[in-house]
Structure 1
Amino acid sequence: MLLPGQGYGAYAAEVPRDSAYALAMNGAGSLVAAGSTQGVASVVDVRSGQGVMALKGHTDNIRQALHAVLALQLDGEGRLLLSGSADHSVRLWDLGQQRCVQTLAVHTDSVWALAAGPGFAAVYSGGRDGCIYRPSAAARARLAFDGSASHPAPQQRQPAAATPSIPPIQHAAVLTDRRHVVTRDADGGVACWDWTAGRAVRDFGRADVLEVEASLFQPSHSVSAWCAAEVKLGSLGGCMEPPQCFGAEIYAQDLGDEEAPVDLKVNFGEQMLVALFAGWAERQRGTPQPGQQQQQQQGGGPGAGPGSGGAGQGDAVAEGATGGESGAMTDADGGKAQGGGGSAPSSRFSFQGPLAPVVMVSGGGGGGGSVPWRCAIDAFTGQEDVPQWVADCVLHGRYPVSRELKMAFQLAPLPGSQLPSLLQSKLNAPRVLRVNKVADYVRRKMEEHGIALREEPLFWDPAKAERWQAEQAGTDGGGGLGATARVHQLQPVQAAAVGGPRGGGAGGTGGGGAAIIITCGGHTVPWDFSLAAVRQWIWRRSDDLVLHYSVRDHGTPLRLPAIRPPS
């Protein structure tokens, strides 16, 4: 609003914290009515910001989508209010009596727009049914239709002109990798979106959204919910809240960076925030404003202090090579994940859509403000009231370390395998750690006992199998590698025989020796599964995951888990 001597400003009004789908103001600009998704029309005194009344009466017994007030109209004197809702009705309210004095139910679908002349002498209502109706003002603040009773003919059925638009998104389902989202729009069009790129990566046309979700089901992933999908505005959005948004990781190579180290992983929440607020951070560092230097320099906030930190592009660790005395599977040098050292993080996410994403902050900014705001990511000025936990992340790479990033599991020889036990059988490792790292860990430990085992991976994803074969061909000259089995079918299969002696020989992926097999509950575990995926889709229990290692018997068919998409 326009504040005397201060230009335009904003402050929070006492209204329900639901989405506001309609606004109306009286002639003097002293009253504002806001229609919410809960079917309530709230009237606010603009001068004080105080709520004056909440008008309840709209319901939605037909459609299950919204109980929303979608259209509002105040008369010039602020005595009467018209409201249109998703319950197909138009209601006339007397603000002096704070009650509904008349209900018109002529539309067959949601009422989307209202317009009125002075004193409500002429009123027009437009709805999703494509019809426009015109009741007239009658005596005693009532509306009536000329020459008609309760079902008048609409004023117009076809528009004089139309603005091209795209159908709104009505449904969104996040896939198991927590990176891709399947959406369905109002016309039945189904698409798959990549959150990290900000665009649709595949268009299925008009299709059954459940069938598409099932076809894209990938059980090798089980990623924590770091972002919740929202479609309330008709577009695909995501809601991030601390500390849950920092509870998921992804390998850099899975983002398409083939040059990244194979074990380099990044935090979903940190990377998304850094990508969204890159423009804001750049302006903060370049031209700090009064009060913003403190936000840049202070080390407080949810992401600071002992036990917190973020692994940025240069801080992500490589894991799974050794096991320390504590039972943690760490990187090759025995290092643990460290907190951010105050350096500015960078993001591997790159938004490639035709429009820049829009950031919407619900309040609680770093300066203690509570006024919601929104801004396209290419329009930041550096003066926005960014929440402190966001500033800590994008400026300093600091964020709370989530316990969800790690999980405990037990690793033991399969009874009857005659392989020795590990000195430390209970381990801690990242949730995203793949089973191939566990197998490599077992191979190294068996070498310490003088037992040579070789790797013979089993892959669920054919693309990963092809990548592994190409990598091994490049390091071994293309010979003596043995075959990899693709196990993306749901039935037990007889894997191809592997050349080479069953015992003795040099260790490593290309040497001789018996082949390692990792099992869980008697089922063979694909090597491209993460530990979290094994726990969710194979172990299916709340206690610690238990994995067994043994020597593969090529005369016995593999027993594979029956994994089906969730209903």
Structure 2
Amino acid sequence: MFHPAHAPYATGYGGGSSLAQQQSQQQAQQRKEPRFTVVYAHTDEDLHCGAVESIVATSSGRLFTGSRDSTIRRWDFGSGRPACSARFEGHVDWVNGLAPVGSGLLASCSSDRTVKLWKADSNGECLHTFADCHSDYITRVAAAPAAGLVASAGLRSEVFLYDLGAMKAVPLRPASSSSSPSSPPSASGSQDGGGAAEGGGARENGGAGVRTAAVGGGGLGGGAGPQQQQQQAGHHAPAGQHHHHHHAQSSGPKGSIYALAMNPSGSLLATGTTESFIRVYDPRSHAKAMKLKGHTDNVRALLMNDAGTLLLSASSDDTVRLWDMRQQRCIQTLALHTDSVWCLAATADFSTVFSGGRDQRLFRTHLGRRETQLFAQADGPVRAMALTPDERRLWASASTPAAVAYDAPPWPSEPDDSGPRSASLSRSFLGGSPALRLKQGSDLSTMAREQRSLQLPVVTIPGAPALVAYRVLPDKRHVLTQDSRRCVARWDVLSGCIVESYGPVDLLDQERALWRPVSVPSWFSADVRTGRLAVHLDPPGCFSAETYALDLGITGAQDDVKLNLGACLLRNALRLWALRYSAAHMSGAPIPGLDDAAWPEMPRFSEARPPAVISQDARGAAWRRPFTAFTGAEPPDAHIPAWAASAVLHATFPYVRELKAAFVLQPAEGSGLPSLLQSRLNAPRILQVKKVVNYCVSKLAELGVPLLPLDVTWDPASRLPPAEQGQGDQGQPQQQQQQAQQQEQQGQQQQQGQQQQQQQQEQQQQNQLAGQLPNQPQQPQQQRQQYLELTCNGMAVPCELSVAAVKKFIWRRSDDVVFLFRILDPAAAAQLPKIEPE
């Protein structure tokens, strides 16, 4: 009874405590077992569901956007409306920067510590990935098309150069010795299978102590390394990545880099640091050319003209500065904003500059005329801007998944001597004129009142609502999510789809409404960092939970067949890979759990909206692909994690021992029932009380005590014999029962003789002992109409509870659960427990 046979999907592994899971996860991390992640498809995959972090506008009229949802998208406007013509998927964390390289190439950088090179005109083809260079977030990327050079910069002040001819990476600035290496957070502000969390990384403006939404107003700034963020927000490394220590012994600049610019010839490279100054390098010699000082806070954006003679910078000190690279000094300061300035765009001749930031304002400044106007008002902090090559339209994103375009009309005509219009500007202006500094307050208010009306968006690329918070339900199979519109939905992690939507409701209220007293070990962690729901599996803890096949809706399974939840999810994610791999390398040998057509109800992923799988190859490089894209040529261990491949191909689960629950069955004091021959038992933690009742009944029958099992539910009437249910909460009142007996006796006396009346009276006495009404028809085994009542801690135990749930919610002690059994007395039935949501 307590040791069910196993089917191909079944496992012999029980659950484990959260402490045991944490210990096993720590052991797996020490062995550097790669994490396995499943990212479920958004309901609208044609749109971004994370804040747009970077925008590139091309001369062909196309637009590229990089987002916190880890994807890059290409937009076409041939139909007059924006249409997503390609998705570039490969990064496993936020895409922080894009740079056109020329020759139809696009470079991208990500918090996953990789730089990728894409074929811009393809349907998402990645040509090369530069990995194992940065030891932390990569925040910016820049390109010198004429030199075939790409540069990247990030946390710990690391700067790398990439020779596209040789496809080789060279460190320009190694990691700062002042910051300890750390693993970057992934798509993972995770919650280990229970409790609450909100997605998103702890960034400069997000509040490190709170798990904020990944579409919020925070930036990349602040200089706090991921190690600190992980400690504050509970993050994990992406897709099981494990940190590689790079250049830890090298000395280097302090802080981190959040701005990067390079001229097209690759002769100068500028970096903006958290130390408030700008370092300029010669990429050809790797020598530092100069240091520009003037800002008083983090430098957040840089723009360099083609000649490398002028540099624009934006800072968290609320200012924009123009620098003369030949004189190595600031020649203009614009104090227009009331908060951090995060992004810049400029015309090719550097005569006009656009600026935006946390104050949600976009300013346009004519540097030659020293004229500034409030150009537009955004709906949120401005994260990215890009001017189209014809300089007629400005694209911007305001910390949302959407991007909007504003018309950029020419400046009003002015006399010829109104000011220089070329990139070099005038010698007198650059050399001797005082810096222009527009003050805040009344001057800005006057300027705003006198200017023409603000520009309004003329084109909008909409975004999809990002998931911003989640709650793992107690069954550890379903997850509640809430999106940026406050709409709540319930996901099935085994099938990867939404099973129910609740609309704009309170997440915690909906969780309480769905709460059930079940006890399932945490076998996965989850997050919504990229605006989608992601589930992470770490061995061996991911194999610590199981369920009965019938509870998964598999009607053809026997009632004692158990399934391992982690194995089910792995088989779903790698099902197509396993079938194709088996056909190519295993002569098509049957794979346990994949070739069993008898279980068509088994939860499966949708191939129409395929979830993405993320993990790590043998070299430690993260990879990502839809689960439908596996060809079967991916070798186990070298590409597919060995532990995951073994679980799917051979149904073997490493590092896991079978966890059971011990309990005691004893007769209640004064019940007159005998003790069982074996009173202390071991069983799977998921064993339901119903089976404990049936076991007890069968063993008592062997001892000559025939009783019937009572199916107790959360309905108080279920504590009574079936014939008395619905006639009172505590059993039929004695007076009513006697009246019913008398009426029945009168009817019987009219039709039967004295002998029949005597038999009826005897039958009534038996019915009263068994708690049955006297009008029950006679049965061959009337002595079995007595029912067994099972209690724990003095309370009736609903049969649907598992042994683990009884221990958690009713027994509430660390020692073995004790069940007491007795013959049911309807007039003194035990009360049901009162269990409140946790």
TM-score normalised by L of structure 1: 0.71
2:513 is equivalent to residue 391 of structure 1: no
Q: CA deviation at 1:434?
A: 0.2
Note the alpha carbon deviations across 1:315-341, whole angstroms, 9 max, x for none.
9xxxxxxxxxxxxxxxxxxxxxxxxxx
1:60 corresponds to: 205
2:708 is equivalent to residue 518 of structure 1: no
* AA aligned opposite 1:375: R
Mapped to 2, the partners of 1:226 and 1:188 lie a distance apart of: 27
2:262 corresponds to: 75
On the 8 A contact 1:440/1:455 being kept in 2, the answer is: yes
Q: Secondary structure at the match of 1:534?
A: helix
Q: Secondary structure at the match of 1:382?
A: coil
Alignment map for 1:223-238 (pairs within 5 Å): 223-238=520-535
Mapped to 2, the partners of 1:430 and 1:34 lie a distance apart of: 50
On the 8 A contact 2:204/2:220 being kept in 1, the answer is: no
* AA aligned opposite 1:43: V
Mapped to 2, the partners of 1:103 and 1:371 lie a distance apart of: 34
**CA pair 456-383 structure 1, distance change in 2 beyond 3 A:** same
**CA pair 164-53 structure 1, distance change in 2 beyond 3 A:** same
Mapped to 2, the partners of 1:354 and 1:443 lie a distance apart of: 50
On the 8 A contact 1:182/1:191 being kept in 2, the answer is: yes
On the 8 A contact 1:413/1:420 being kept in 2, the answer is: yes
2:332 is equivalent to residue 210 of structure 1: no
Note the alpha carbon deviations across 1:348-376, whole angstroms, 9 max, x for none.
22124852100111x2x3xx321001010
1:537 to 809, 818, 827: 809
Alignment map for 1:433-472 (pairs within 5 Å): 433-460=687-714
Q: CA deviation at 1:174?
A: 0.6
2:141 to 14, 21, 24: 24
**CA pair 59-9 structure 1, distance change in 2 beyond 3 A:** closer
1:132 to 358, 362, 367: 362
**CA pair 112-182 structure 1, distance change in 2 beyond 3 A:** farther
1:247 corresponds to: 544
Q: CA deviation at 1:393?
A: 1.0
Q: Secondary structure at the match of 1:33?
A: strand
Note the alpha carbon deviations across 1:395-422, whole angstroms, 9 max, x for none.
1111136346422222222222222222
On the 8 A contact 1:173/1:229 being kept in 2, the answer is: no
**CA pair 410-549 structure 1, distance change in 2 beyond 3 A:** same
Note the alpha carbon deviations across 1:75-95, whole angstroms, 9 max, x for none.
334632468xxxxx9977435
On the 8 A contact 1:457/1:484 being kept in 2, the answer is: no
Q: CA deviation at 1:455?
A: 1.1
On the 8 A contact 2:141/2:260 being kept in 1, the answer is: yes
Note the alpha carbon deviations across 1:499-527, whole angstroms, 9 max, x for none.
9563699999x983321122111111100
**CA pair 451-380 structure 1, distance change in 2 beyond 3 A:** same
Mapped to 1, the partners of 2:338 and 2:673 lie a distance apart of: 73
Unmatched runs of 5 consecutive residues or more in structure 2 = 1-115, 119-125, 163-167, 180-201, 213-217, 222-257, 281-287, 300-314, 319-335, 369-428, 738-765, 772-777
Note the alpha carbon deviations across 1:120-153, whole angstroms, 9 max, x for none.
886655568754345789999xxx9977335877
* AA aligned opposite 1:454: L
Unmatched runs of 5 consecutive residues or more in structure 1 = 84-88, 298-309, 316-344, 466-479, 487-491
Note the alpha carbon deviations across 1:474-510, whole angstroms, 9 max, x for none.
xxxxxx9646789xxxxx95367999563699999x9
On the 8 A contact 1:41/1:69 being kept in 2, the answer is: no
2:609 to 355, 365, 378: 355
Q: Secondary structure at the match of 1:502?
A: helix
Mapped to 2, the partners of 1:481 and 1:257 lie a distance apart of: 29
On the 8 A contact 1:409/1:427 being kept in 2, the answer is: yes
* AA aligned opposite 2:530: L
* AA aligned opposite 2:730: Q
Mapped to 1, the partners of 2:726 and 2:649 lie a distance apart of: 46
2:134 to 15, 24, 34: 15
Q: Secondary structure at the match of 1:421?
A: coil
Q: CA deviation at 1:271?
A: 0.7
2:416 is equivalent to residue 149 of structure 1: no
C-alpha RMSD over aligned residues: 4.6
* AA aligned opposite 1:436: K
Q: Secondary structure at the match of 2:826?
A: coil
**CA pair 198-564 structure 1, distance change in 2 beyond 3 A:** same
Identity %: 32
On the 8 A contact 2:548/2:560 being kept in 1, the answer is: yes
* AA aligned opposite 1:382: G
Q: Secondary structure at the match of 1:214?
A: helix
On the 8 A contact 1:53/1:98 being kept in 2, the answer is: no
TM-score normalised by L of structure 2: 0.49
More RCO (CA 8 Å, sep 6+): 2
Larger radius of gyration: 2
